[in-house]
């Protein structure tokens, strides 16, 4: 080395305090005499290295758990002067196509979905690469702020293009279009000799918010960078999210969300008559560990399968009479004829003629395992009421040919919960538009079970209005990580729900992927429940496995807090008050 270079080198290394820090490292390591001296030396000096920054995002089209195209986002960072792949995430897809959709409707949706994913891949590989380059992956607020601004610009760009197209169309054909008169409503059939009673009109269905083509890129980039932030900080994602939510103050203890495990997916199409129930979910008692609860649910699932497979040979088991909460059978109706398939939700798919028939099968399966509903296991029912409304009649079709007005649904649910108190949660018991009835059902049943809005919370961007949640009055909300949802959005919304003493439920979309980040999000946000589907299909089981791993880790670190079930009493002024429930006695031993 030339003399001039030596001087420059001394100045360069002196400015970086290299000699001083090497001496510190050698003095610190000598007493320990590590077997891998140079490895330990590298670890010691790494704390002086620069914070990793994002250098590249890679987007690609992959398939989700139901074979639909979706987006994968990979994050590369500059770490110790080298480009390094940090992590990736795969977005889940949410379909709003009904079960009985026409083939052409499904085909159009699949084409649109494909276009959406291709655009999202383009956004990630081009614009977002530039927008997010050189940001620190640990700075989630700044990342999400820039993602939000980019998305807003895209929305404004689309609106501008639509306006120009409309103006161009008006210039080509200036003749105003006339609206054809609305056809009169069909006359309702009624019994002869009886006057029809005028019924209160129902609020019309709110139009579905359009999804911007490419919006998957926003959610995918935000979640992938959150995972990268956790990775470079050498902590699990759930701790990273908890730190983000609590302003970098780590909670002393963490409570795991209780799983709502889907056991049955009930078809609402012929020949099944029961339409009121879409999903039946099992909730284990809080006194059990998650591992014990999952094992108990697996046992009930096996009994359900056996019952359904042998249903053609039996007329239905008899259950004890006279006890509240016991389904009874007169012998006229047997069990469903067979299990048709495993649903995309990872559970058994079948159909029923009425609700008591369904509860009879559940009760029988539990009894065969020596368990009792209401003590050893609880039920949650997803009613998906928005799928039941007959808009010509203005009523919900709860059974084939049996209709009820929104006002009539409230006492029906009150009777149901009074008769079967082991049902501790109803999801979407009404449409989101029936806000008056939501308030009524909350006042009537809020202290007995959770009344949860899921369909009303599908679009995260419409939920927050002036530091409040834009949903009907309810016990809690199911949040789903889809489309343009950002990690910061979930943190903000869960904080608002906490402040309003309502519960947060993290929900798995229909088209789930093998990415298990949703579980870490639920734990980090402090969600009360997590709704992942059933205990079949790899993309769903991998999430339960992740939840079990987190439980084991927290128990080992002695930072696991036991969950509680707290129902909410709604006052007449619709201000919720927390009430500890006494409906959960200690479980019986298996």
Cα 48 from chain centre: 40
Q: Kind and range of the H or E element at 479?
A: strand 476-480
For residues 262 and 359, state if they share a domain: yes
What per-residue confidence (pLDDT) applies to 330?
45
**Catalytic sites, residue numbers:** 483
* Residue 214 and residue 122 in contact, taking contact as beta carbons nearer than 8 Å: yes
> Distances in Å between the alpha carbon of 514 and those of 58, 89, 545?
18, 9, 11
What per-residue confidence (pLDDT) applies to 370?
95
> Distances in Å between the alpha carbon of 488 and those of 86, 484, 524?
21, 11, 12
**Buried b vs exposed e over 195-221: b needs ≥16 C-beta within 10 Å?**
eeeeeeebeeeeeeeebbbbbbbbbbb
In tens, the pLDDT along 64-78 reads: 888 889 999 999 999
Q: Is 358 exposed, middle or buried (0-12, 13-18, 19+ CB in 10 A)?
A: buried
In tens, the pLDDT along 281-339 reads: 999 999 999 999 999 999 999 999 898 887 644 444 444 444 455 555 544 444 444 45
What residues contact residue 589 under an 8 Å CB cut-off, 6+ apart? Answer: none
For residues 243 and 296, state if they share a domain: yes
In tens, the pLDDT along 538-573 reads: 999 999 999 999 999 999 998 999 888 888 888 654
Q: How many domains does the chain have?
A: 3
What per-residue confidence (pLDDT) applies to 530?
97
For residues 349 and 255, state if they share a domain: yes
* Residue 501 and residue 476 in contact, taking contact as beta carbons nearer than 8 Å: no
Q: Cα–Cα distance between 84 and 257 in angstroms, integer?
A: 34
Residue 251 structural domain: 237-308+341-561
- Comparing CA positions, the residue from 580, 405, 570 lying closest to residue 476 is 570
- Comparing CA positions, the residue from 458, 478, 344, 265 lying closest to residue 64 is 344
For residues 347 and 408, state if they share a domain: yes
Q: Cα–Cα distance between 462 and 40 in angstroms, integer?
A: 51
For residues 34 and 57, state if they share a domain: no
Instruction: Bin 233: left if φ > 0, else alpha if -120 < ψ < 50, else beta.
Output: alpha
For residues 223 and 296, state if they share a domain: no
For residues 152 and 255, state if they share a domain: no
For residues 27 and 99, state if they share a domain: no
What per-residue confidence (pLDDT) applies to 210?
82
Q: Cα–Cα distance between 293 and 258 in angstroms, integer?
A: 10
526 inside domain? yes
For residues 253 and 374, state if they share a domain: yes
For residues 452 and 513, state if they share a domain: yes
Look up the CATH number of the domain holding residue 441: 3.20.20.120
What per-residue confidence (pLDDT) applies to 108?
86
pLDDT beneath 50: ranges in the chain: 177-197, 312-323, 330-338, 573-590
263 inside domain? yes
């Amino acid at each position: 080395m030339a003399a001039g270079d030596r001087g420059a080198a001394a100045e360069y290394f002196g400015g970086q305090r290299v000699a001083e820090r090497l001496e510190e490292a050698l003095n610190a390591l000598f007493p320990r005499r590590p077997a891998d001296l140079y490895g330990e030396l590298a670890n010691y000096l790494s704390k002086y290295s620069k914070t990793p920054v994002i250098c590249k995002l890679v987007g690609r089209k992959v398939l989700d758990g139901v074979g639909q195209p979706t987006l994968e986002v990979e994050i590369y960072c500059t770490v110790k002067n080298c480009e390094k792949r940090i992590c990736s995430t795969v977005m889940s897809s949410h379909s709003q196509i009904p079960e009985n959709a026409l083939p052409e409707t499904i085909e159009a949706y699949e084409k649109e979905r494909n276009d959406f994913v291709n655009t999202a891949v383009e956004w990630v590989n081009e614009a977002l690469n530039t927008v997010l380059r050189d940001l620190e992956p640990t700075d989630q607020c700044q990342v999400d702020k820039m993602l939000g601004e980019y998305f807003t610009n895209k929305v404004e760009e689309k609106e501008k293009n639509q306006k120009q197209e409309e103006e161009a169309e008006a210039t080509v054909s200036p003749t105003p279009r006339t609206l054809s008169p609305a056809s009169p409503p069909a006359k309702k059939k009624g019994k002869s000799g009886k006057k029809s009673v005028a019924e209160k009109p129902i609020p019309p269905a709110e139009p579905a918010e359009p999804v911007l083509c490419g919006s998957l890129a926003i959610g995918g980039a935000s979640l992938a960078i959150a995972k990268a932030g956790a990775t470079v900080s050498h902590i699990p994602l759930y701790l990273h999210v908890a730190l983000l939510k609590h302003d970098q103050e780590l909670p002393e203890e963490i409570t795991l969300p209780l799983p709502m495990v889907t056991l049955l997916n009930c078809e609402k199409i012929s020949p099944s008559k029961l339409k009121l129930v879409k999903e039946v979910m099992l909730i284990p008692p809080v006194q059990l560990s998650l591992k014990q609860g999952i094992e108990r649910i697996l046992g009930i699932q096996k009994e359900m399968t056996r019952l359904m497979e042998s249903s053609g040979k039996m007329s239905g088991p008899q259950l004890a009479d006279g006890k509240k909460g016991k389904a009874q059978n007169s012998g006229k109706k047997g069990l469903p004829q067979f299990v048709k398939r495993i649903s995309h939700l990872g559970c058994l798919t079948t159909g029923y003629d009425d609700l008591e028939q369904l509860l009879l099968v559940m009760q029988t399966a539990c009894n065969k395992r020596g368990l009792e509903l209401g003590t050893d296991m609880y039920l949650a029912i997803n009613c998906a009421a928005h799928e039941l409304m007959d808009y010509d009649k203005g009523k919900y079709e709860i059974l084939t040919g049996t209709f009820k007005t929104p006002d009539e649904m409230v006492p029906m649910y009150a009777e149901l919960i009074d008769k079967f108190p082991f049902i501790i949660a109803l999801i979407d018991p009404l449409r989101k538009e029936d806000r008056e009835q939501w308030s009524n059902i909350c006042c009537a049943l809020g202290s007995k079970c959770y009344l949860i809005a899921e369909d009303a919370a599908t679009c995260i961007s419409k939920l927050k209005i002036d530091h409040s949640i834009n949903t009907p009055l309810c016990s809690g909300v199911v949040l789903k990580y889809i489309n343009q949802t950002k990690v910061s959005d979930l943190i903000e919304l869960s904080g608002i729900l906490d402040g309003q003493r309502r519960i947060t439920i993290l929900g798995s979309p229909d088209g789930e992927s093998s990415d298990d980040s949703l579980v870490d999000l639920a734990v980090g946000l402090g969600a009360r429940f997590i709704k992942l589907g059933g205990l079949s299909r790899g993309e769903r089981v991998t999430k339960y496995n992740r939840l079990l791993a987190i439980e084991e880790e927290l128990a080992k670190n002695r930072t696991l807090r036991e969950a509680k079930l707290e129902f909410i009493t709604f006052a007449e002024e619709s201000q919720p008050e927390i009430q500890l429930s006494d409906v959960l006695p200690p479980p019986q031993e298996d």
